[in-house]
Amino acid sequence: MIMDSRKILIIGHQGQVGWELRRTLASLGAVAAVDQPDIELAGADSIRRVIRGHQPQLIVNAAAYTAVDQAEDEPELAMQINGIAPAVMAEEAKRLGAALVSYSTDYVFDGAKADGYGEDDAPHPLNVYGRSKLAGDQGIAAAGGGYLIFRTSWVYGSRGRNFLLTMLKLGAERAELKVVDDQIGAPTWSRTIAEITAQVVALLLSPAGLSRVRPSLAETFAERGGLYNLTSAGSTSWYGFAQRILSRRASRAGGKCAKLLPIPSSHYAVKARRPANSVLNNRKLNETFGLRPPAWEHSLELVMDEVELRG
């Protein structure tokens, strides 16, 4: 055990990433997990009370307001949960001498770049959700403590609400599905995010991975922490993602699936604008920690194996 005497607090354990984190972080310390209604993410006092009650050495914020279109109608709530809450967590972490891990999004970018975005590229979100997540990133950095922010994209898994499960459901119910083909990104398995989070935390806590012994996790994370992209390798469109999902289902189940039709974003009415290109490059993650996330196609096969085993 690397940090079996230390306390880890996961905030938002009911979400896709949070659920996986409970397993991947279990070998690194004593894990406690909270979610609503035990913590009110839109209330700073509630957040402070929970963190002070647990006195963790590591806080992992897996909570977020993720309803991208609904955020256009609820900008204040989205900002409270995605923007203000992470900053409060960072302030409390610094007060305790603890470290913070949090998660950001590809939607902080406008999609105008031709190739993959790096950590140093200037954000320019197109929607309320992206602006609220960017505010959270900035609030964490401004708190001045030790932190890791993992910026990821197109998160899915075998649980919760996500594109994979929606496509499987609609593909079985409908004869035809129209899916956007001019937005490009990297579908990323929630388990990949959780597993790489645990690997990075373990590396940061290993004496061999540091230039000198550090007295607190906050100082340890300050040495090589910061912002890192973390997405599956490769990229595709939403149409390409859907095509892979339904072709796999058809080949295994032997039944009919919906016919897929590619459409431009302009033909799909949504409230929030999305970036045309939200591919993130993982170069910094690889150069700093020697970690390479798997290809999105490989991860999708594993997730669908899991879905099919459950029936």
Domains of the chain, each with CATH number or no CATH:
7-157+188-232+277-293 (3.40.50.720)
What is the C-alpha separation between 111 and 147, in angstroms, rounded?
A: 26
Residue 3, pLDDT score: 44
Residue 223 has pLDDT above 60, yes or no: yes
* pLDDT of 4 strictly over 50: no
pLDDT for res 123: 97
pLDDT digits (tens, 9 = 90+) for 243-302: 999 998 888 766 677 899 999 999 998 999 999 999 999 999 999 999 999 999 999 999
Residue 218 predicted with pLDDT over 80: no
Residue pair 90/139 in contact (Cβ under 8 Å)? The answer is yes
Find all residues with CB under 8 Å of 277, minimum gap 6, and list them: 109, 111, 112, 113, 114, 183, 184, 185
Provide mean pLDDT across the span 196-207.
88
Among this protein's residues, is 156 annotated catalytic? no
Above 80 in pLDDT, residue 141?
yes
Q: What is the pLDDT of residue 63?
A: 96
Residue 210 has pLDDT above 50, yes or no: no
Annotated active-site residue in 129, 147, 156, 228: 129
The letter for the amino acid at 36 is: Q
- As a whole number, mean pLDDT of residues 155-184 equals 93
What is the distance between the terminal CA atoms of the chain, rounded to a whole angstrom? 36
Cα 179 to Cα 278: distance, rounded to the nearest angstrom: 17
- Give the residue, 206 or 271, on which the prediction is more confident: 271
